[in-house]
Amino acid sequence: MKNDRIFLSTPTMHGDEMKYIHEAFDRNWIAPLGFNCDGFEAEMKEYLGEEANCLCLNAGTAALHLAVKLAGVKQGDVVFCSDMTFAATVNPVSYEKAVQVFIDSERETWNMDPVALEKAFEKYPDAKAVMLAHLYGTPAKMDEIKEICDRHGAVLIEDAAEALSADYKGKKCGTFGKCGVLSFNGNKIITTSGGGMLVCDNEADRKKALFWATQARENFPWYQHEEIGYNYRMSNVVAGIGRGQLLHLNEHRDLKEKIYRRYEEAFKELPVTMNPYLFDSKPNFWLSCLTVNEGASVDPLDIMNKLAKENIEARPIWKPMHMQPVFEGNDFITAEGEDVGKDIFERGLCMPSDIKMTEEEQNRVIAVIKSFF
């Protein structure tokens, strides 16, 4: 129908998920952990590569928190964080009473700027870790960033919540650092309805994370606790959904790219620019975004509001963390004094990228945007 709702990004289910869910019910294995969690971890490891030691958790944020702990971050430590991201990327630093220093974006990927990161180490040479997010499924400049982290002895944590299936020079996002983090929230490229996964570069870290995630219960016949633990386990039922979804991950990625390419072709004569990526990387195109070119005198919020009147969902680019009131006292490092993230936020818009969106529906979106130019 002409005015049917067009969503930003919603779950796409295939039916394979039910096989794993039914098995959980048939075996009465409804509690957290279980054979579906084991299977999901093993199948994700096979997808990401042999070095990926995977742990199912109840949220990507839980995985980020455990990654911060595995990095040895303590109270007062400095952690360099991507500035333009969702707050969940950086909040776990506060859980451990450490301090975020935000690193500006660069324009080629919208991700953490290696030049600004190097400047940050000049100012804070003892920084403990680097928390990097691959924004909207676009890989960051991993060669430069990993070299800087290694040279300064800082632990690299990858927030690949938006970037599952994306790769940089043939290596999957989430497998470059000591820890990587995946999200299976309802709007992600595959979903478990909610949930996440921690990816460790060694099995010992995975085992330690599992210990913390299961209330740090010691190996005694009674409940004995010598450390603070958390209830971060994934449900066996939820993991079953993930196993069924994982079968369709590459299919979802290909559909996301087709959406991006249709926007790219439709807007090639307009004063707008699609979210960029490096040509030696392969994004998953989770969300297709644009920025209105400087001087075009079109407000992205006006576009968003007109789309809303047409029953079409869009949203602004992530508001950078250094602009958030909760972090107003935190330091922010730019490459050359230019606030790139703020500029992208003010000129940017996330467009509908739902893989169930038909070409006719996408043409509705495109027509609204073209009407402004």
| 369: three-class secondary structure by DSSP | helix
In CATH terms, 16-246 corresponds, of 3.90.1010.10, 1.10.357.10, 3.40.640.10, 3.40.30.10, to 3.40.640.10
Residue-wise pLDDT for 139-187, tens only, equals 999 999 999 999 999 999 999 999 999 999 999 999 999 999 999 999 9
* Per-residue pLDDT at 109: 98
The answer to whether 16-246 and 249-370 have equal CATH topology is no
Q: Distance (Å, rounded) from C-alpha 200 to C-alpha 165? A: 17
Contact (Cβ atoms closer than 8 angstroms) between residue 290 and residue 267: yes
Q: Where are the beta strands (DSSP E) in 7-77?
A: 53-57
**SS3 helix, strand, coil % of the chain, rounded to 5?**
40, 20, 45
Residues 6+ apart with CB under 8 A from 332: 83, 101, 102, 104, 322
Helix 60-70 vs helix 203-213: angle between axes, to the nearest 10 degrees?
120
The pLDDT profile of the chain, 373 residues, written as one tens digit per residue, is 568 999 999 999 999 999 999 999 999 999 888 999 999 999 999 999 999 999 999 999 999 999 999 999 999 999 999 999 999 999 999 999 999 999 999 999 999 999 999 999 999 999 999 999 999 999 999 999 999 999 999 999 999 999 999 999 999 999 999 999 999 999 999 999 999 999 999 999 999 999 999 999 999 999 999 999 999 999 999 999 999 999 999 999 999 999 999 999 999 999 999 999 999 999 999 999 999 999 999 999 999 999 999 999 999 999 999 999 999 999 999 998 899 999 999 999 999 999 999 999 999 999 999 999 9
Tokens representing 296 are: 């075009």
Which residue is listed with tokens 């940050």?
Answer: 120
Amino acid residing at 137: G
Select from 76, 126, 125, 124 the least CA-distant residue to 96: 76
The continuous run of DSSP H or E covering 25 comes out as helix 16-26
pLDDT in tens, 215-233: 999 999 999 999 999 999 9
Domain spans of the chain, in order of start: 16-246, 249-370
Task: Tokens for 142, please give them.
Answer: 């991993």
**Chosen CATH of 249-370 out of 1.10.10.10, 3.40.50.2000, 3.90.1150.10, 3.30.420.40:** 3.90.1150.10
Contact criterion met (CB below 8 Å) for 267 and 335: no
Q: Where are the alpha helices (DSSP H) in the chain?
A: 16-26, 35-48, 60-70, 91-95, 114-123, 142-152, 203-213, 236-246, 249-266, 300-309, 340-347, 359-370
CA-CA distance, 362 to 373, in Å (whole number)?
A: 18
* H/E run at residue 197: strand 196-200
What was the pLDDT predicted at 66?
98
Distance (Å, whole) CA 138 – CA 275: 9
